[in-house]
Structure 1
Amino acid sequence: MTTTATAASQTAAQGARAPSVAPAPPSELALLRSHIQTLTELNSRLQAIRQIPAQLLRPPPSAAPGEVIAGPSLLTHGFKELQAVGELVRSEKVQEALKTAKKSERADSSALDSNLRREMLKRRRPPPPDSPQPYRETEPRDMSFLPPPEDGAVPISLEALPAYVRNFNRSNKNKLHIVSPKKGRALSCPVTLRLMAVNVATIYLTVDHSAQDERALIVESATAIGSREQASKPAHSQSDFMAFQQLSQQLAKVIRSDPLAPLQSFIELLGAYDRLFDDSCSNCQRVISAEGHVPPVVRRRVPPSADGKGPQWDARHVVCKYEPPPPAPPADEGGGEVAVDGVGEGGASGNP
């Protein structure tokens, strides 16, 4: 019995003297996660203490305007929070995490960006809508609205304008006048001209010096009104009728197509509107358009044909400007007349 107890005590003493097994060190991944968590908590504490100065300077509801009162309890809490953050920064755990982060930055700093927060905000914002594109002229450039200047023609200057107006009125049924604010006043640019097409339209032109040649006059703007509107309409005012509104818009397009065209070419173009309400459209063969019920206000210069026919003006509606002419109707095989709108031979057609 005694021998057995002695052996047991010796065995227990040897077991007590045996070295204990040390715990396994944390893995590199676990240590990295611990450092990241430590630095994240430190950043949160730093962001919190950044709000303390604003809280200390915020006046209480009972303070008078302009008076700043900091409560003792809030001030004490702020200093305690600053002291706690200081101790946290000096702690061994935080210092070890900061040393590891510094070592990692020195090894590879390619993925670090000081404006990371700004970049994240940019990514969260929806993409801006596309900016409106500038207007691009879609009209073909091969169309000529103005006649080419004659060979040897001299551009009209401001001094020669009165003589040009007198010569034009002698040889044309349309009359051109210089609109002067005061009689006897010397002409100076810009000058307003009034072209009167009898029983058709009155067109006001604003002419000024050319940018290329200061002595030459060019047309800057044109406004058309009815021939019987001038009594109540001042210069440059818009007409009350759709036909003359479209005519003004068409003349503005002509000016944009060749802004440096000489004054003589533009006056010659205006002479093509003598039969504004009589010429039919070369595309739809109608005088009044089916859409808008306006006459053909577009005039294009047609070059001389092969048979020797001189240049002339092609009249079209705005909606027919770039459309090809419709195909000709098939000829009647029977050779007899066909009634139109219920009117046969010997009757009058119901269409214009």
Structure 2
Amino acid sequence: MSTHGPSTSPTSRRTVLLSSLAGLAVAGGLGAYQVLRHPRPPRRQPDGQYRQIKLAWPDASSAPVLAVAYQKDFFTQYSLDVDITSAPLNGSGALAALAGGVADFAVAPALSWLPKLHDGLAANLILGIQPGVFRLLVRRGAGITRLDQLLGRTIAIPDQNIADKLFFAIMMRRKGINAMEGITWRPMPAEDMITAAAAKTIDAIATHDPFAWQLLGTSNGLFTELVSSNTGHYADRTNMILGVSSSTLAADPDAATAMTLALRDAARWANAHRTEAATLIAEATAGMNSTSVQDMLSSEPPIHPVTGHPLREQIAQYYDELQLIGLLPSEESAADMARRYTRNVLRG
């Protein structure tokens, strides 16, 4: 089924800055000189044909970029009729839909994508949509104020959502902490986590927004945030990645171009209009009102889409980090694997 939010009219405007004639002449001459020395590859343009696309996206109803793509007509601008398939609850579910041929495209965290690609999933990564929103929440009264104090403790993670665990395992490994072996990671339904924390059978929860934000706001002070992906260099890195099946890319490369441009434009709009983006998902985000959703988005990093070389560099970094915690073979070149797994569908 398609995901639709409340209908609103577009408010986006572009501002054109005019330079003096002399400035334009100098810039034009310099630009021509640079093009002669370093010619840029032509940018691929979509062909404008109408397409029906099947897309798997976890927690689709609470994804601001997806809501913007629908309600601000970015999909329509690129002649796309996008249907959200199978309502996956996490990245693993979205990738299962792609692998099973249920979806043509999928969105999932980078840390969910890479192990599946290494295991043979036939797909390419084409757009980094936005950074991660991982939060590590600790139970008040557990005496945990540093990451190393989690050793020997129990951290709950949402069922089968591997990205939450891996993100914090990597963060801790960089501080010399072997979280993969030194911590008990307990998969648990989200609805059981508050009860388990109150009963002191878990010490922390590794999860992501919007659920993490809900826990902080509705658990009567049971949790406090220890660390997150929303600050420092982690905030600058992409997380939710759009990928396309190899068969779809081979049969219709223009579909991948159109999807990339539509979601890239929607991501830029969502970042520039966070308050309005929040209203588009507020009604569909369980347990949160519009103000709470706005506060959540305000606390998160800028939504900055990436493609091409910047995406490939970030995927290589993720690959290297998964090697660091022993999840991928250390003898492989992270740069080579990133080149294999990514594709710049905007290059002509």
Say whether the fold is shared (TM-score over 0.5): no
> Who wins on radius of gyration, i.e. which is larger?
1
Structure richer in strand, relative to its length = 2
Range class of TM-score, shorter chain: under 0.3
TM-score using structure 2 length = 0.19
Structure richer in helix, relative to its length = 2
TM-score using structure 1 length = 0.19
Larger relative contact order (CA 8 Å, sep ≥ 6): 2
